[in-house]
Structure 1
Amino acid sequence: MTVTQPSPSSTRPRLSALRDRVFKLAELATTPLLPSDYLDLVDPLRSGAALRGRIEAVEHETRDAATIVIRPGRDWQPHVPGQYVRIGIDVDGVRQWRAYSITSVLGRADGCFTITVKAIPDGKVSNHLVHRTEPGTIVQLDQATGEFVLPQQTPDKALFVTAGSGITPVMGILRNLADDDLTDVVLIHSAPTADDVIFGAELRELAAAGRIRLVEQHTDTDGMLDAASIAALVPDLAERSTWACGPLPMLEALEQYWDDAGVADRLYTERFRPAIVAGDGEGGTVTFTANGTTLEADGSTPILDAAEDAGVLMPSGCRMGICFGCVLPLREGAVRDLRTGEVTTAAPGDGVLVQTCVSAAAGACAIDH
């Protein structure tokens, strides 16, 4: 008698069907939770799960800034130095998303990456991360993104102009520079005092080693640094590619100066907040049609911020008008784009998509959410 063994290829469909049946039975047994929910509890960083990270350490840099060490899930992809990552973290029971620059070297031996956060006044997430977050906290992640990076062909001369937490993406770049990548680097950094300089000791070591020329501007004693002063400090400014990150007024002043000098194409800027255009938006009543919440918002506050202050759970992302993670349909009324002053209107029943992080009420409006 001849016994024929089933081929491995013929058993695969049976095993797949059996596995599917087991998972269906498991879903019935664990409803309303799914088996994947239990797997997430056991291994939240597993491959194939929603991308998450686990905070391994909180390392304080200054009185109001800390480096957060994050172990990412297995589907994390390497970043390009200078890029940022969106972090989702629960604060007082509400999921909040913010974007932070990655400050670590590529290929850390421990498999982690770092963000460095400066707590800002009334900053819900930044204060939570700097002052209250504990190791072991699970956060949601997006893949790294952003264009504030060096080109593949690095320039012969580079200038970095930063203030406050604007040093963070630049630190991510400097830490990943090989000795021969850039041989002529000038960094001008502004902070209230020497103790407030994030990464101060490391930057001074780089300068002592001849890796960079460092100019510190301590505004409490030296005043604010303007574009003309920067040009005086760096006489060959027009020959340098310049990367700048910091407060909006500083960036706007630099952009104007570089434009007037005819070298605007050599300046690259990174904004942590959108540039707001003053306008005549008077604000108004904002109604969220799905959950029935109604609130009063002024003409200068983003609808996203006004809604969160009223306890409405909102989709969000970069909060700068870049990632489109906050887009919702405007069903009726008018909103004003805080960056351009442009007013968008919708007739009753329309579904015009608007970015709630950079849009303010321009009269009564209804948002589908």
Structure 2
Amino acid sequence: MLSPARTSSLGHVPDTRTLRNGAWRVVELITTPVIPADYLDVIAPLRNPTVLRARVEAVRRETPNAVTLELRPGRGWEPHEAGQYIRVGVDVDGVRLWRAYSVSSAAGRSDGKFTITVNAVAGGVVSSYLQSQAERGMILHLDLPTGDFTLPRPRPAKALFLTAGSGVTPVMGMLRSTLHEMPDVVVVHSAKTAEDVVFGAELRDLAAQGRIRLIERHTSADGRLKPADVEELVPDLFERETWACGPGTMLDDLQEHWADADAADRLHVERFRPTVLVAGDGGTVTFEKSGTVVDNPGSMSILEAGEAAGQLMKSGCRMGICFKCVVPMREGIVRDMRDGTITTATEVDGDSVLVQTCISAAAGPCRLGA
């Protein structure tokens, strides 16, 4: 009997792997510029570990202005730590917009899923879109979990959580994950009304069980929460490790108050500073490592513009297939030259936004970690 992988007197019998690889290359040639993997991504969008996505499994209304999305991440996902956030990419009117959302579910769920909770923002394109359009089966783009707004080990003996509005989201993830490990927890939360308290029913139930001490402040009746109010409500606050998340003005006041009490090391804050980026046609590209700054017209890829200026850059296929040209974008805005998709990055995003220089052109000022 002839082995299919050996040469006999009847001639060479090709290896089935060679035949399969050859057939795949033929299919790639036929379908270029779209490759077979692109079709597979349409059929099975969660299969590709290099392009991280998630499917919306459920949508739950928390308040009239807040909605929780239960997400099933695809291959390549790495579990989060309680308190961390992820960046979510949503395609709105042909533009991919990225926003950061804290994970609100407990860490390490056995089903592999997690949740984010989106609070409506006045004029917020992404939050408004998800509020009105999110539905089961929708595919979202993801980045891996990040952030250091987390709890230490061992857990604090006395903890205080100060939140306002959607700032309760990461704290809810912490409580759901680690409350059983913390013997003394105070939660002070500020919202416009009792009905506007995100996770209000769950927090009140935890308080009724004696697992937390919950203090609600409703700004429509009580006014904005100030550090002096917190000190009156929680007399031992400087004995507690404190985590605060909410509007920037509130966090600024708290940091100043803790610093004045020589307790700044006991206050941990989480703040997001979104930057509004408007897409144009071309822009300057700054290469961080060399300090080179080049003008990149919208009709030329970043790779070509960089090479023309003498910038050493990695490349491969130059068609957006091999991903050898990928670099981190620290901040800025680029346009995919194939389909016009816009990708943005702000200082908050850091290294998490990766761009392919061979198929991307600047759509405004950009700073690359290359």
* TM-score bucket of the superposed structures, by smaller chain: 0.7 to 0.9
Q: In the alignment, is the contact (CA less than 8 A) between 2:272 and 2:348 conserved in 1?
A: no
Residue of structure 1 in register with 2:350 after alignment? 323
**What secondary structure sits across from 1:58 in the alignment?**
strand
Partners of 1:87 and 1:99 within 8 A in 2: yes
Corresponding residue for 1:113? 114
Cα distance in 1, alignment partners of residues 332 and 250 from structure 2: 25
Unaligned 5+ runs, structure 2: 7-13, 284-295, 300-330, 356-364
Compared with structure 1, are the counterparts of its residues 177 and 58 closer, same or farther at alpha carbon in structure 2 (3 Å cutoff)? same
Q: CA deviation at 1:274?
A: 6.1
Instruction: Give the match for residue 172 of structure 2.
Output: 171
Q: Which residue pairs with 1:162 in the alignment?
A: 163
Q: Give the partner amino acid of 2:344.
A: S
Tell me, in whole angstroms, the C-alpha distance in 2 between the residues paired with 1:76 and 1:120. 28
Residue 291 (str. 1) matches residue 298 (str. 2): yes
In the TM superposition, what is the alpha-carbon distance from 1:187 to its structure 2 partner? Answer: 0.5
- Corresponding pairs, count: 302
How far apart are residue 137 of structure 1 and its match? 1.1
1:327-357 deviation per Cα after TM superposition (whole angstroms, max 9, x unaligned): 99xxxxxxxxxxxxxxxxxxxxxxx9649xx
Q: Distance in 1 between matches of 2:347 and 2:206?
A: 32
- The match for 1:215 is 215
Structure 1: gaps spanning 5 or more residues: 276-284, 293-302, 329-351, 356-369
Q: Does the CA contact (< 8 Å) of 1:238 and 1:263 recur in 2?
A: yes
Inter-CA distance 102–36: structure 2 relative to 1 (3 Å threshold): same
Letter in 1 for 2:173: G
TM-score (norm 1): 0.75
Following superposition of structure 1 onto structure 2, how do residues 305-344 of structure 1 map, counting pairs within 5 Å? 314-317=342-345, 319-324=346-351
Matches of 2:229 and 2:222 in 1, distance apart?
12
Report the 3-state secondary structure (helix = DSSP H, G, I; strand = E; otherwise coil) of the residue aligned with 2:20.
helix
| Equivalent-residue separation in structure 2 for 1:287 and 1:40 (angstroms) | 30
Structure 2: how far apart are the matches of 1:57 and 1:245?
A: 26
Question: What one-letter code is carried by the residue in structure 2 that aligns with 1:203?
Answer: L
- Give the alignment's Cα RMSD to 1 decimal: 3.0
Distance 1:26 1:287 in 2: 35
Cα offsets for 1:104-159 (capped at 9, x unmatched): 12343443210000010000001111122222111111111110000122111100
TM superposition shift of 1:31: 2.1
1:133-282 matched pairs, under 5 angstroms: 133-179=134-180, 181-273=181-273
For 1:62, the equivalent position in structure 2 comes to 63
Q: Where does residue 71 of structure 1 map in the other structure?
A: 72
**Residues 349-364 of structure 1: pairs in structure 2 closer than 5 A:** 354=367
Inter-partner Cα distance in structure 2 for 1:80 and 1:325: 17
Question: For each residue in 1:174-205, what CA deviation from the matched residue of structure 2 results, as whole angstroms up to 9, or x when unmatched?
Answer: 001152x1010000000000000000000000
Aligned identity (percent) is: 50
Letter in 1 for 2:260: D
Give 1:234 deviation, angstroms: 1.2
Question: Amino acid of the residue matched to residue 126 of structure 1?
Answer: S
Measured after TM superposition, the shift of residue 304 of structure 1 is 6.0
CA separation of 1:98 and 1:227: change in aligned 2, threshold 3 A: same
Query: Residue 52 of structure 1 corresponds to which residue in structure 2?
Result: 53
Distance 1:304 1:127 in 2: 23
Q: SS in structure 2 opposite 1:176?
A: helix
Report the alpha carbon displacement of residue 211 of structure 1 after superposing the two structures with TM.
1.0
Secondary structure, counterpart of 1:190 in structure 2: strand
User: SS state of the match for residue 258, structure 1?
Assistant: helix
Moved >6 Å (runs of 4+)? none
Q: Distance in 1 between matches of 2:249 and 2:263?
A: 19
Kept in 2: contact 1:193–1:219 (CA 8 A): yes
Amino acid at match of 2:262: G
Give the match for residue 95 of structure 1.
96
1:204-232 Cα offsets, whole Å, 9 max, x none, are: 00111111100000000111110011011
Structure 1 residue 233, shift from structure 2 partner:
1.2
